[in-house]
Structure formats: C-alpha cells, structure tokens
A and B are shown apart, each in its own frame.
Chain A
Amino acid sequence: MSSRTPRQSRSRKPKLAVWKFSSCDGCQLSLLDCEDELLAVAESVEIAYFLEATRAQIRGPYDAGRRLDYHTSEDAERIRRVRRQSKVLITIGACATAGGIQALRNFKDVDQFINAVYARPDFIDTLAQSTAIAEHVPVDFELRGCPINKQQLLDVLSAHLADRKPNVARHSQCMECKLSGTICVMVAHGTPCLGPVTQAGCGNLCPSCTRGCYGCFGPMETPNAASLSTQLATLGQTPRQLKQLYRSYNANAPAFRAESLRHE
C-alpha cells in the first residue's frame, strides 16, 4: 500500500461507500456527527453510497467501503458483493466487528428470542447467530467501539487518504485512565471494571464517571481475562455476574466469549 501514489494526488477523488445492514445507526451517525469536519470530508472524498445521508448513488468499484453492523440471512451475498467492489473494506462498530449486543442470542436458542418478541414467529426470518463481518469476508481494518469514537473514524479515513496506517491504539483502557490521571475505580472503590482487558479509545469515559468500564470497545490485544476474573471474584463478583460482565456489546468477540463461557 505504501508504494502507491498517495490517493489525494490522484486526479479523481476516492469513492467512499457506507453500507448499513442492521444496527442502531449510531456508528453511521458518527460520520454525520463530525460537524466541524463533515464538509471537509465531503471535499476529500466522493461519497458514492451512503443511504442515510444521500439519495445520490454512484456505481462501484469503490476505493473504500465501510461496513456497519452484523449481517443476517440473505445479507451474506450482499456482503460478498460489497467486498468484491471495494478496494479497502473497513468495518466499524461492535456490530460489525463482533456481532454487537444482538449476539447475545448466540448463547441461546434463537427461537426463544423470536417467540419472546413477536406475535407471529412465522413472519420472522433471521440467522441463529450474529457474527463479525471478518468471519465472512476479508476485512482491511476493524474500528472498534459501541459506538465508535468519531475522532478515530476521522483518523482511519485520513489514514486511508494518506496511505498510512491508522493511529488506533490496541492497548488497554487502563492506559487511557493512567494517561489522563483518572482514579482507578477498581482499586479505589472496589468497582468491577473491564478496563484491564478492554481496548482503549473511548476516552476513559466510564471511570471518569466513577463507573466501571463495561467493555464497549471490545477486547484489547492479548487480554488476560482469566486473571481479571480472579481479581473480580475476590471483589465479590459471582460466576453469574462475571458471565454477564463479559456478555454485552462485544459478547461474541473471541476473548470475551471464551471468558464468559468459562463462567457459564
């Protein structure tokens, strides 16, 4: 990638496509939430497909396709088409990188879920499991978070435009707390916190609110969840509580999934 001419110097703007399948739209909204930068972003790229923002559509191939959210059922073929048409495919948000909160159904019988919600289960068509996009097609970069950090999104976008590596840290939330001088809620208050195994990036939001991290950015690189669980157990967390702690917005991320199953 680095041997290529930087994309900004090309005669045409790179085409950006944003694909949404199923989600809360929060990560997609993060692009529109870049109030100060939105018009500049629009100057730098050609928005070829972004149904939430525009009805204009430009046919592929796309220089960058960004995928939101997990896919279901017949969406699988659509994802493969997206992959074929995109030079770079970036998945954004917990739904796309780990299956999202709806991946809680992966641990149960999906029929129970359908019956609990819908009067006519026969009208419902869904996959039994909610999974990460990377399990189905090759993905060039995964941007974590539930929701993603919009500054990280801008960095990933500009990194692509400048042919550089995105500057997204893979270390733990603990580092973020230490860097900002936030008091450790687990040490000082005995509050259960997933910070030691969760990837940084949110801006140590929960500990700043005297609340334990609930892992919305997913597992950090090489997390030691078993060790954290031992410490949480000494703070009084029951196996059921430990299971639920790991089973939330990134429940299907391999490290969190394995640790929650250990406490089943």
Chain B
Amino acid sequence: MSKSPHKPASKPTNKPIGTAKSRTIKVDALARVEGEGALTVRVKNGVIQELKFRIFEPPRFFEALLQGRPYSDAPDITARICGICPIAYMLGASQAMEDALGIQVQGPLRDLRRLIYCGEWIESHVLHAAMLHAPDFLGYQDSIQLARDHPGVVEKALRLKKLGNQILEVIGGRAVHPVNLKVGGFYRTPRRRDIRTLIEPLRWAVGAAQELLQVFAGFEFPDYHYDYTCVSLRHPEEYPITEGRLVSNRGLDIAIDEFAEHFSEEHVAHSNALHGVMRGTEHYLVGPIARYNNNFGQLSPSAQQAAKAAGLGPSATTRFTVFWYVWWKCCMPAKKRCDWLRPIRNRILAASTSAPVPTQRRAPEPATAAPKRHAGFAITAMSWTPKAGY
C-alpha cells in the first residue's frame, strides 16, 4: 500500500497525546468542511491551554485581483471566493459599488435579490447541516452512509437543497456562480412562468423543513452555554439580509460605513485566515446564531413558534440553534438573512480561532469539524497558506 497523497488526512493524529491531565488533540485536515483547515487543542487539567485553528489553503488575493478592473467586474470576480455562497459576495460587491455610485436598488429588484439570497441559504445550509454535519451526530462517516440507514432524511435534504439551487437557477442562471446579477440589479428579469415553478416545491418545503427540524431536534447536543458577543445586521422592518445597521447584544449600533472604526482584522502566523476583532472588547460571534439572537422579534410568528417548540428562546447560546435555524429557514424563504456587509473589505470574520474556549466542552470527534458558520467561507476563501509537509 502506498502512502496517501494527502499526508495529514491519511494519517490522522487526533488521538489524545499525553497523560490524562495533559493532552493534545490534533486534527491535521478537517473533513466535511469547505476549504482546508487544521485544529490543534492542548489541554491541561481540564483547561484548554492553547487552541489553534489553522487555515492552510494558499492565498488567492481577491482584493488585489480587483485592482484596476472595471466596477462591473466586481460581482463576478468576488463570486469566485466561494462556490457554495457566491451570492453573498456578488451582492456584497454590487452593494459596495452601488454605494460608491449613489444608487439604491429598490422595489421588485430588491425583492429578487432577497429571494435569490434565500435560495443560496437553502442550498448552502442544507448542504452543511444534512450532508456535512448530521453524520457526526449520528455516527456515520458521511451522508451516503447515513442514507443507507435513514434514506428519508437524506432524500428530503437533497430535495430541499435542489430547491435552493432551483431558485438560484431561475433568478441567477446557474446554481454555482450565477451570471445574471450585476451592479444595479439583473441583466434580465426572470420569466414569470419560471418563477411559478418554484411555488409548489416551496409549499412542500415548509412541511419538509419542519420534519427535518424534528429530526435535528432529536440529536444529542453537548450541554454547553457561552455568553457570546453577537454581531449582526438589524433592520427595522424585516429580518435582515443585506441591509440595516450593525448591532450587537452588548449595545453596539452603528452604520455599516462605520465598520472600520469599530472592527479590525489581524493577521496571525499560524493561519492565513485574518481574525476579526472588535475594538475595545473581545472576540465576537457572527452568523446564524448572532443574527437569531439579535433579531428574534423580526422572525415571523410561525418561525418564533417553531423555535419555541424546539426548546429555544429569544436568545440561544448552544450550537443547537444552528440546526434549528438551518431547518426553519428552509420554510421561511422570505425571512432570510446573512451577515454579508456592503463594503467588501469590511466583512466580519468570526473569531473562531481564538475565541474563549469553554473548558467543559466535549472534545472534537476525530477528523471532524465543529458546525461551520457562514463566516467560515470568508475565512477559508480569502486567505490561506500552504505549509511544509503538504
């Protein structure tokens, strides 16, 4: 037998090393995540001494790629940051350009943007929850193994994911890197008859998402709570997707343009992922949990009811929130959201690498990753470096 070309993944070294009082957990290549990352945790007497989340993918230099290009190239080029969530980048780049040009996209075009964003959330989050994360909770290597024992769950998830992609295709032309979005709106408005084809599948999706929510509610989650600083958008009239003010549960309330005055990005040696830091405070959380916590009141009554039925309040701190959120959003395409902010450079990166680590948290399963937040895409896509030995 020859050695696997992917040396770290072929020989996981994630077995605890050292005595019961002192041990090191190393996962050299995280499986079932987008991008390439590694995790090292050093524990002594039950207290984590060191935690390093290392993104080792090589840099792609998107900020530099945009220099000297026409403004109209920005959405398509930045889409290539991530093939799973290109809309986040396309709309982020478009809105940055529109800000510069003094344009506001309103009315039906704004609605279409919200709708295509919802499509992206459905395909992206179903992919992550059902195909990348659920196998860990149920003890399988992957969703294909999972499908052998729970075919209904996987088939339902695949159908939901397909619906998300269908929304992207109807409005954007294709599911990965859509071609129909541009600064100022769309190249061509979708045909009414094509939009109509989405109605029936969306009706089905409401029930399917609720059923999957029940499946996920039955998973065993670690009894872990942490009082995060949650940062997200907030909009006075709707669940925030692309517009609003930047708020936190600790009193932050600023316009997006003020981002650079309150946040900075740090570059650390062990990872090419830039670390987002809020000035004057510690690390902060973005993504679905933060958005949920900061905007529970903007969810539809039925979404709030589903949250309560799943045992969640207006402010949830466990990872279970992620799963509730992922599934419930599938039945609420008009109430989708994301933390993407208009200025491209002002994206918020979750401080997942150096956030305070709960000591009572269960050790990671071998070769698996913690449930991934949306900001992880930005981390993996924007900055990476190869290391010796790969």
Contact = CB atoms under 8 A, between A and B. Distances in A.
User: Which of A127, A147, A214 neighbours the largest number of chain B CB atoms within 10 Å of its CB?
Assistant: A147
A28 B176 CA distance: 11
Interface in A156-212: 202-203, 205-206, 208-211
Interface string A68-109: 000011110011011011000000000000001110110000
Interface string B376-390: 000001011111111
Interface in A41-88: 42, 47, 49, 51-57, 59-61, 72-75, 78-79, 81-82, 84-85
B144 A54 contact: yes
Contacts of B70: 241, 244
A152 interface: no
A72 B58 contact: yes
Contact of B141 (A55, A113, A241): A55
B41 interface: no
A124 interface: yes
A121 B240 CA distance: 36
B174 interface: yes
Nearest to B345: A117
B61 A105 contact: yes
B80 A211 contact: no
Interface residues of B, number: 86
B179 interface: yes
Interface in B268-312: 268-269, 272, 274
Interface in B59-107: 59-65, 67, 69-70, 73, 76-77, 79-84, 86
Contacts, number: 236
Contact of A25 (B59, B64, B84, B161): B84
A124 B272 contact: yes
B141 A124 contact: no
A242 to B, nearest CB: 13
A209 B2 contact: no
A29 B32 CA distance: 12
Interface stretch (B4-12, B243-251, B327-335): B4-12
B121 to A, nearest CB: 15
A205 B6 contact: no
B84 A51 contact: no
A35 B83 contact: no
Contacts of B386: 72-75, 125-126
Contact of B4 (A24, A49, A126, A214): A49
Nearest to B143: A53
B32 A51 contact: yes
Nearest to B83: A26
Contacts of A57: 4, 9-10
A233 B139 CA distance: 60
B188 A210 contact: yes
Contact of A30 (B60, B135, B176, B182): B176
B122 to A, nearest CB: 12
B363 interface: no
B368 interface: yes
Given A112-B64, A147-B83, A52 B59 contact: no
Contact of B144 (A25, A39, A117, A214): A39
A119 interface: yes
B131 A75 contact: no
A120 B267 contact: yes
B131 A26 contact: no
A79 B174 CA distance: 30
B114 interface: no
B212 to A, nearest CB: 15
Given A25-B34, A74-B388, A120-B267, A102 B65 contact: yes
A20 to B, nearest CB: 7
A47 B141 CA distance: 11
B187 interface: yes
Contacts of A36: 158, 162
B4 A27 contact: no
Contacts of B165: 33, 35
Nearest to B77: A101
B1 interface: yes
B41 to A, nearest CB: 18
Interface in B199-215: none
A60 B4 contact: yes
Contacts of B65: 101-102, 104-105, 113
A232 interface: no
A78 B8 CA distance: 11
A105 to B, nearest CB: 6
Contacts of B366: 55
B112 interface: no
A32 interface: yes
6 closest A-B pairs (Cβ-Cβ)? Answer: A26-B83, A54-B142, A55-B31, A81-B5, A56-B141, A72-B58
Given A55-B142, A85-B5, 5 more contacts: A22-B58, A29-B83, A78-B6, A81-B4, A211-B182
18 contacts: A21-B58, A24-B177, A24-B381, A25-B34, A26-B83, A47-B142, A52-B132, A54-B141, A75-B386, A78-B7, A101-B65, A117-B59, A117-B383, A202-B174, A208-B188, A209-B186, A248-B77, A249-B80
